Structure 1
Amino acid sequence: MNPFISLLFLILAAHTTLSAQNWSTFGGNNSRNGRTEIAGPSAVTAAKWIVTSAATTLGNAVYTLGDRFVTSRITFSPYKGKIECRNLQSGALLWTSPNLGNSSILYATGFTHDAVYAHDYANDSIYALYPETGQIKWRSSIKSHTFGAYPGFVFACNGDPILNGPITEGIFTMRLDKNNGEPIWTNSTVIAIGPSWILATRGDRVYRITGGISVPIVITAIDANTGQNLYNSSPIPGDGDQENPITLGDNGEIYFWRDGGKLYAFKDKGASFDQLWAYTPAMTTGAALSGNISIDNQGNLYVFDASRVKRINRLNGTVMAESVELDMSQPSLTIDGDSTVILNTGKGQFIAFRPDLQSFKWQLPAPNNVYCNPAPSKDGIMVVTFGGSQIRAYQSDQVRAPVADFSVESTLAYVGTPLAFQDQSSYQPDTWTWHFEGGDPATSSLQNPVVTYAQTGVYDVLLVVENALGTDTIRKSCLVEVSTNAGTQQGQIIPTLQLYPNPASESVYLDWPKEERVLHCTITDLTGRVISQQEVYPDAPILNVQSLQPGYYLLAFQGKTGRWIARLVIQR
């Protein structure tokens, strides 16, 4: 890589937003800080759109990626559920999750470039669904003791999900391969109660509250790459049944409520933890301390205590402001790009407080909406789910500086294979400056560039956008993993398996090693989405490709003696 480009990458990275507008998990991001750069609606007098959906008992969490969002539709009698994916701009239904049986209770637990992640609360199965179609990408061979409605997953730098393990098997934390769902590592350090969701991640560290009834409760730092415990805090007083959330600050802080105890602030020193302060709440029961912790742009905390929302000074743990008493149950908070504190009371109401908590901008009835951070997303659109069959969206009407974001057609790429990037920035930027580590071109000013990579590796991508009101930068680390295409070089067909014609329009004929009596063929597009699966036999060595749209496809052939991969072009 050009040394100048490398230096520029480092300079720009120092001013980079790591999580701008997408809501990938509960709390919005891996830090669980409930904060977004996007400004929520300035008023809720008129909805941007209203759609009728499948009936649901509760309004469940909304996870977003660019112009799409997913949410679970769950009924309690009988207890079953599925996931819907809809267009963020219009509310139009894009897909519904596959039918996994009448008893399936499928909760959305995260949304990334790689997959919509789901947990079946009926049997603790973990699924990855293709974002484009909702079809099953994989079902993990290992279970997860997770309450899918609430916690969501966190993600390693490359997008691998990190989550609870099968606790009954003595596995409490694990990292799964995003490509196939198999465990990369497991960790057997005890947590207090399953399905406790007290974990967050930053860089190469996973932070978890560990311990239990007979084991001291501590903060544990886990190596995100190996799953090994690195260091612990000293024991922290409180009940043994720790269930409350953990939130990461911007400068190495870890915040959490101790069940039956205090609100603690610790600092990660790299090989140990230092306690910064402890705040004694007005009530110390678990119910009083339920709900997430949110962090504003100055690093101060917004927390729940004794039926109030309180603003806590990040430096010393003192109360800076507090709301009036509120009727709340399992509440949640979001701090938007205008520093508005958007509260979901969990009792049927959203309230948008000003930062001092003394007045509010608006109130919105939200019957039976629980377990759900308000999630302002692309272009200021905030989707609100309700109990019943209605979903609504509200949007800010103000013109703003842009918020940078983008998508990529696949996070897995082959050497020499073109890879398309698409701008997903909010508030209509008019210039784009891309920086592709290891890519060709290394920079681009196109809105939606196409890039190739000459060498294998894992690469970052950085985008700077600008309009008349300002500029914004986002870097996505470990985004693109480039490998050689097994069995092919620069898209050429391997010599041991021939297919013709190529390009094709309706049928493809094959010649393959004589020792193979049957080949199983899987056809995928360049994003990895499975399009078709067929069996091919020597007496009828033909693939039917009439249903394929024009474009490029990868064909994977599996036989008894090996696996072959070829690239096919469909033209009409």
Structure 2
Amino acid sequence: MKNIFIFFFLIVISTASVISGDWITIGGNSQRNGQSVDIGPSSATVYWNKPTLSSYWGMQVFIYGDKCVTSRYTSLSPLTAPLVCHNLNTGDSLWTRNYAPNGVMVVMGFNNNKIYVRNFQQQGVDSFYAINPDNGNIIWKSNFTLERGITWAAIFAPNGDLFVPGSGTKSIMRINHTNGDTVWTKYRIIPNTGAETMCLYGNTLYTWEGSLVTPKRIAAFDANTGAIKYYSAALPGDGDQEIPFSIGPNGTIYAIRDGGLLYALKDNGTGFNQLWTYQPVTPLGTYSQFGAGRDSTVYIPSGRRILHFNHQTGAVLDSSEELSSSGYINPRITVGADGKLYVGNGASVPSDGKVFCLSSNLQTIWSVPLAYNYYSGPALGTNGILVVNGNGTNIIAYRTSVGVSSNNNLPAGFSLEQNYPNPFNPSTKIKFNIPGKNNVSSSNVRLVIYDILSREVETLIDKNLYPGSYEVEWNAAGYTSGIYFYKLEYAGNIIVKNMTLIK
């Protein structure tokens, strides 16, 4: 018999910032803010360490379901990089592929059970493919070609379509994920490689725009039609633009201009409001990716450190230690469901490469060396498995069993416990149980927070989970006092409970 609890008010579901449990692109999601619904490792406990193709440097790992994929640069002359696919739970190699003679296969996304990869030949006319992750076979090869750039990756519409930078006049393309055809194309001017970055929030696609000799600004496009909506004011800085941007869970855009300021911008529906600015310490790495906390605060590099900012005022709340002893850093940040950060420092001096685990106030919990990681960041996937890779012949995963019950004591039924503490300020923990058999993935599980007006506040979990007992922490520091509801959905069952935030 199903336990179904029904809201006494109408629930309006928002899709502005739903975050899955997979690592589908650089930055983890289409806002590129590093947020994950999984709780990552609390110690540097190696879950598996398995051989893979030898590579001169590490590339970003992408995760979907029970598989992880990356590119390995096996030769510099001629430049060659096959794909490798590993089982996420065991680390075992599943297959390796290259789809062209001396092809340089750069992964640009892993979503809806398709790996998206381009043959990066540094000519601005890169072929791209959709690959079956089960066997490495080609599902389709697009008739269109892509722009240059080793560091950009695709982002995804809710239906799975890709947004990518195309060649020539098709400098923005929405690609039908089922066949590789264009849904629409749009022309924009960008100054150089690195400025291809795009982010999606709700129904709006955001991009850099501007040439080497014209002002750089953020452009907003209608994601369904490609129509331009509006531009930000000019953001002063150098002629080029290589540093990407990110969007926080509340829609704030965080963009660092090369040679300029960090800007916090808010889309008001007809343009952009500038919330605050900050002068970061230079030099700044061009392959960085920012991170956002559950309370909407933001983590952004400055010099060799990560700084923690109040998203409303720009006040600096915390600072990390220096993440490298020399050179500069290109950090990529992953933020677990419990607020811990996982940072690949992307050190410009390859031997200084490291992965750090930091607390939400940026105190170092643990770190491990990882040389040649300047194109690679930590990827956090199902059941808190954190995968990293650098140069050499191995790919490594870390995991500790935080918040998950032993497989020897699986729960008998579906249940949601009352949050604790309650009332709370600002954090509370929510426990729930998913029934089933050992190592058998469940149906999709969703845990969503709503306010008293039935507005979706935050999606804590939206993914398949293995049977077990789970605990998720919600940090409500960015929200006002009042009654909130948390709803758990699993296999057609719904349970709703309420909680009280008192500040």
Q: TM-score range by the shorter chain?
A: 0.7 to 0.9
- Alpha-carbon deviations, 1:366-386, whole Å to 9, x = none? 122222221121111111212
CA displacement at 1:200 relative to structure 2 = 0.3
Distance 1:29 1:296 in 2: 14
Distance 1:50 1:428 in 2: 31
Q: In the alignment, is residue 117 of structure 1 matched against residue 116 of structure 2?
A: yes
Query: Which consecutive residues of structure 1, in runs of 5 or more, have no partner in the other structure?
Result: 403-426, 433-445, 450-461, 477-572
Q: In the alignment, is residue 302 of structure 1 matched against residue 302 of structure 2?
A: no
C-alpha spacing 1:5/1:161, structure 2 compared with 1 (3 Å): farther
Counterpart of 2:187? 188
CA displacement at 1:398 relative to structure 2 = 2.3
Matches within 5 A, 1:232-381: 232-283=231-282, 285=283, 287=284, 291-327=288-324, 328-347=328-347, 348-357=353-362, 359-381=363-385
Q: In the alignment, is residue 159 of structure 1 matched against residue 150 of structure 2?
A: no
C-alpha spacing 1:385/1:447, structure 2 compared with 1 (3 Å): closer
- Alpha-carbon deviations, 1:338-397, whole Å to 9, x = none? 21121211232111122222x311111112222222112111111121211111211112
**Contact (CA 8 Å) 1:18, 1:475: kept in 2 or not?**
no
**Contact (CA 8 Å) 1:20, 1:474: kept in 2 or not?**
no
Task: Give the residue type in structure 1 aligned to 2:49.
Answer: I
Identity among equivalent pairs (%): 31
- Alpha-carbon deviations, 1:268-292, whole Å to 9, x = none? 1112111111112233x5x357511
CA displacement at 1:61 relative to structure 2 = 0.8
Matches within 5 A, 1:136-535: 136-148=138-150, 150-166=151-167, 169-283=168-282, 285=283, 287=284, 291-327=288-324, 328-347=328-347, 348-357=353-362, 359-400=363-404, 429-431=433-435, 447-448=442-443, 469=470
Distance 2:140 2:120 in 1: 17
CA displacement at 1:467 relative to structure 2 = 6.1
Task: Give the residue type in structure 1 aligned to 2:176.
Answer: D
**Contact (CA 8 Å) 1:17, 1:473: kept in 2 or not?**
no
**Contact (CA 8 Å) 2:17, 2:249: kept in 1 or not?**
no
Counterpart of 2:130? 128
CA displacement at 1:47 relative to structure 2 = 1.8
Distance 1:463 1:147 in 2: 31
CA displacement at 1:473 relative to structure 2 = 6.6
Task: Give the residue type in structure 1 aligned to 2:154.
Answer: F
CA displacement at 1:297 relative to structure 2 = 0.9
Task: Give the residue type in structure 2 aligned to 1:253.
Answer: T
Distance 1:75 1:463 in 2: 34
TM score, norm. by length of structure 2:
0.76
Distance 2:366 2:377 in 1: 17
Task: Give the residue type in structure 2 aligned to 1:172.
Answer: S
**Contact (CA 8 Å) 1:74, 1:82: kept in 2 or not?**
yes
Counterpart of 1:553? none
Greater Rg over alpha carbons, structure: 1
Distance 1:324 1:241 in 2: 29
**Contact (CA 8 Å) 1:160, 1:175: kept in 2 or not?**
yes
Question: Which secondary structure does the structure 2 equivalent of 1:379 belong to?
Answer: helix
**Contact (CA 8 Å) 2:21, 2:463: kept in 1 or not?**
no
Query: Which consecutive residues of structure 2, in runs of 5 or more, have no partner in the other structure?
Result: 348-352, 407-430, 445-461, 473-485, 491-503
CA displacement at 1:36 relative to structure 2 = 1.1
Question: Which secondary structure does the structure 2 equivalent of 1:247 belong to?
Answer: strand
Question: Which secondary structure does the structure 1 equivalent of 2:89 belong to?
Answer: coil
**Contact (CA 8 Å) 2:320, 2:364: kept in 1 or not?**
no
Distance 2:146 2:217 in 1: 22
**Contact (CA 8 Å) 1:200, 1:247: kept in 2 or not?**
yes
C-alpha spacing 1:447/1:342, structure 2 compared with 1 (3 Å): closer
CA displacement at 1:206 relative to structure 2 = 0.4
Counterpart of 2:85? 85
Counterpart of 1:506? none
Task: Give the residue type in structure 1 aligned to 2:301.
Answer: F
Question: Which secondary structure does the structure 2 equivalent of 1:174 belong to?
Answer: strand
CA displacement at 1:316 relative to structure 2 = 1.1
CA displacement at 1:312 relative to structure 2 = 1.3
Distance 1:301 1:35 in 2: 11
**Contact (CA 8 Å) 1:13, 1:475: kept in 2 or not?**
no
Question: Which secondary structure does the structure 1 equivalent of 2:81 belong to?
Answer: strand
Distance 2:237 2:366 in 1: 37
Counterpart of 1:490? none
C-alpha spacing 1:392/1:326, structure 2 compared with 1 (3 Å): closer
**Contact (CA 8 Å) 2:54, 2:392: kept in 1 or not?**
yes
Counterpart of 1:53? 52
Shifted more, 6-15 versus 126-135: the winner is 6-15
Q: What is the root-mean-square deviation in Å for CA atoms of aligned residues? A: 3.1
C-alpha spacing 1:57/1:10, structure 2 compared with 1 (3 Å): farther
Aligned residues: 417
**Contact (CA 8 Å) 2:114, 2:130: kept in 1 or not?**
yes
C-alpha spacing 1:469/1:125, structure 2 compared with 1 (3 Å): closer
- Alpha-carbon deviations, 1:6-27, whole Å to 9, x = none? 9899628369982132000000
Distance 1:326 1:195 in 2: 23
- Alpha-carbon deviations, 1:528-550, whole Å to 9, x = none? xxxxxxxxxxxxxxxxxxxxxxx
Task: Give the residue type in structure 1 aligned to 2:96.
Answer: T
Distance 2:175 2:224 in 1: 11
**Contact (CA 8 Å) 1:72, 1:106: kept in 2 or not?**
yes
Distance 1:236 1:296 in 2: 25
Task: Give the residue type in structure 2 aligned to 1:350.
Answer: V
Distance 1:430 1:307 in 2: 42
Counterpart of 2:414? none
Counterpart of 1:515? none
C-alpha spacing 1:103/1:475, structure 2 compared with 1 (3 Å): farther
CA displacement at 1:5 relative to structure 2 = 12
C-alpha spacing 1:431/1:110, structure 2 compared with 1 (3 Å): same
TM score, norm. by length of structure 1:
0.67
- Alpha-carbon deviations, 1:157-214, whole Å to 9, x = none? 2111101110xx2332111111111111111121221352321012211001111223
C-alpha spacing 1:254/1:5, structure 2 compared with 1 (3 Å): same
